[in-house]
Amino acid sequence: MSPGRKSDAGGDPSGGGRRPAGARRGPGRPRPKSDRQQEQARQDKAPPPPGVAARKLAVEALVRIDEEGAYANLVLPKLLDRSALDERDRHFATELVYGTTRMRRACDWLIDRFVMQELDPPTRALLRVGAYQLVFLETPAHAGVSTMVDAAPRKVSGLVNAVLRRVAQADNTWPDEGTRLSYPAWIIDLLTRDLGADDAVAALEAMNHAAAATERADGYTQDLASQWVADAVPAVAGDVVLDVCAAPGGKATRIAGTTKGATVVAADVRPSRAGLIRHNVDRLELRDQVVVISADGTRPPLRPGSLDHVLVDAPCSGLGALRRRPDARWRISADDVTALAALQLDLVDAAIALVRPGGTLTYSVCTVSDAETLQVDRHLATRWPSAAAMPAVEGSSWDVHAVPHGRGYRLLPQAADTDGMYLLQLRV
């Protein structure tokens, strides 16, 4: 080799030679990634397969629902709208979110037997979704486990794999009815007391299935039981009807749409909710029949004895509508039932005073608890003894599917695959 000429092995920065053993790479010179690392980086950046993407979206929604208090029916549509999921995977993600939320207590029991550490919310959500698929959707173990592992961050993929494989192989015999049904203990106790054990279990089981979407002839989607409440209001042409707690407007528009010539005043205490009623009234082209106002139902700005019919579809615990509100069972408490029952008494007292002699008061709630049904009936019987209870119209849905409860009628969710409802009607 000629003197003064650098060898190719001398580490010239412009060449490809090796560094002497033990020498350090200079600053700003990152170590080249291996082929395997480069492939992993490409996979990390690539969008996940559709089935994995649906599961990831479901996990994100569950974390927001469980940890941030988001409502399932509000957060899920937003996540779906910004996703690239096709229609099939959108339905699948919805099933995972709603189903896993309903069966949260059961899913936690399925996984907690095999977890020996504290789980952060995203990891718990991953395991809940996996357990829901394996046990309630009966997804084959190889598919149910592998897709959840693919949806998991690498740092917890081993844990997800190990726990879900144990769930798939275990004897999943439920330890008690509360865990099997997946409700808080207080709801099970309350409905068992108020309905009896058999009807309570049947109602709770019925509300663990997704609600069917029922579309009216005018295109508005509304549960049949709510339609039956509106249909029970005996309005005719020329009558003025007040719907005290009308938002989002389903019952008010049903009354107006099926009773040509009647005027419906649709009220709600919150201006934003009144705006939602206006939107639905405009969409259904009922502006000539429905007048929307923002008003407090306990202090309505209307003249006593001035209305033909008043409907009080009161705020309630929603214990009859838990199938369509999957997160409600974890959101409400026994104290809420007590507070809502007190509000319901104030609402019916204010409402009945607005009814002209010979007119009617209709009280309804999408719950089946005695505190929000029988207690209201007894209060009205004591406070307004001259108001006579009205029987269900013979052959009507209330006559066919509901059972007498006090002077009103209780419709259980298992009776006709509807929300659980209560209806009481008085002629003033």
Catalytic residues: 366
- What 3 state SS string does 336-381 have? HHHHHHHHHHHHHHHHHCCEEEEEEEEEEECCCCHHHCHHHHHHHH
Return d(Cα 48, Cα 424) in angstroms, integer: 53
Residue with tokens 């919150």: 270
| Three-state secondary-structure class, residue 221 | strand
Phi, psi at residue 330, to the nearest 5°?
Answer: -95, -10
Q: Give the N- to C-terminal CA distance of the chain in Å, as an integer.
A: 117
- Are 211 and 384 in contact by the 8 Å Cβ rule? The answer is no
Return d(Cα 79, Cα 74) in angstroms, integer: 9
- Are 243 and 311 in contact by the 8 Å Cβ rule? The answer is yes
44's CB contacts (< 8 A; 6+ apart) are: none
Return d(Cα 306, Cα 351) in angstroms, integer: 11
